[in-house]
Amino acid sequence: MKGKQIPFSRQPVVYRQIAVMLESGVSLNQTLTIQIRMEEDQTVKKILIQAQKLLQNGIPVRQAFEKSGLVVHPLFIQLIEIGEHSGRLGPAFDHIARTVEESREFRSKVFQALSYPAVILTVAAVSVLIMIFFIVPSFAEAYTSMAVDLPFMTVALLQIQQFLSAWGVYLLAAVAGAVWLFIRFGQQPAIRPKLESWLFSLPFLGDFWKMKINYEFCVGLSLLLGDGVPLLKSITLIGKNTGSILFSRQISGFISGLESGKRLSGLMDSTSIVSPVVQQMILVGEETSELPRLLNRAAGLIKNDLDTRLKVMVSLLEPILIVVLGLVVGILLISMYLPLFDSMSQIGGK
Domains of the chain: 11-101 (1.20.81.30), 108-350 (no CATH)
Q: Could you tell me the pTM of the whole model? A: 0.75
Mean pLDDT of 5-25: 90
Spatial separation of the C-alpha atoms in residues 123 and 117, rounded to whole Å: 10
pLDDT at 1 (0 to 100): 38
Residue 75 has pLDDT above 90, yes or no: no
Give tens-digit pLDDT for 204-257: 888 888 888 898 889 888 888 888 888 888 888 888 777 788 888 888 888 888
Residue 350 has pLDDT above 60, yes or no: no
Give tens-digit pLDDT for 57-69: 999 998 999 999 9
Please, what is the end-to-end C-alpha distance for the chain in angstroms?
A: 83
What percent of the chain is predicted at pLDDT more than 90? 20
pLDDT at 2 (0 to 100): 44
Mean pLDDT of 175-199: 84
pLDDT at 16 (0 to 100): 92
Give tens-digit pLDDT for 122-172: 888 888 888 888 888 887 777 777 666 777 888 888 888 888 888 888 988
- Length of the chain, in residues: 350
